[in-house]
Amino acid sequence: MKQEFIRLSRSAEDYLECIGHLCREKGAARVQDIAQRLDVKKPSVTVAVRRLAEQGLVQYRQYAPIELTSRGEEYAEKVIQAHSILRRFMREVAGLSRERANEIACLMEHLLTYEEIHSLSKRLSHSSDS
């Protein structure tokens, strides 16, 4: 059964997306890795991760690796997928460089609804069929 998501803040979604990527790559995320990827201080990561834990999206214990809950994994996947679709749209349709497409995708993923992003995805699929 698909979950309905109440959109988190841009910052929270960025943290969740980062944690999702790190969990895919390393099996879990560490505060230090998140801080490095997002270019923020470790105390900021700790505050954000605690909030995500309060919302049931991650499992967090001080000094332990951070893991996504099943709900957090679904949400992180949704954000990662949205970013990927938008990055692809910016590359293929708008013709932007890889770096610029990534920057714009990061901004747009927080402005558009998931339904709007899904609609873009369908249009991308149809354009590649032509």
Q: Specify whether 62 is located in the same domain as 83.
A: no
Chosen domain end from 69, 86, 102: 69
pLDDT mean across residues, the chain: 90
Q: Determine the Cα–Cα distance for residues 19 and 30; give it in Å rounded to an integer.
A: 8
24: Cα separation from own chain's centroid: 12
Q: Specify whether 18 is located in the same domain as 53.
A: yes
**Has residue 31 been placed in a domain?**
yes
pLDDT reading at 129 higher than 80: no
The fraction of the chain above a pLDDT of 70, given in percent, is 92
User: 57, 74, 65: which is closest to 15 by C-alpha?
Assistant: 57
Q: Determine the Cα–Cα distance for residues 55 and 75; give it in Å rounded to an integer.
A: 12
28: Cα separation from own chain's centroid: 15
How many domains does the chain divide into? 2
Contact criterion met (CB below 8 Å) for 72 and 24: no
pLDDT reading at 27 higher than 60: yes
Q: Specify whether 84 is located in the same domain as 122.
A: yes
List, for residues 38-93, the tens digit of each pLDDT value: 999 999 999 999 999 999 999 999 889 999 999 999 999 999 999 999 999 999 99
The whole-model pTM stands at: 0.85
pLDDT of residue 130: 47
Structure tokens at 102: 């990534």
Q: Specify whether 28 is located in the same domain as 58.
A: yes
User: 97, 87, 72: which is closest to 21 by C-alpha?
Assistant: 72
Q: Specify whether 39 is located in the same domain as 15.
A: yes
Q: Specify whether 47 is located in the same domain as 87.
A: no
pLDDT of residue 1: 39
Q: Specify whether 84 is located in the same domain as 51.
A: no
Structure tokens at 28: 């879990």
Per the structure, the complete domain to which residue 87 belongs is given by: 76-129
pLDDT of residue 16: 96
User: 14, 67, 58: which is closest to 38 by C-alpha?
Assistant: 14
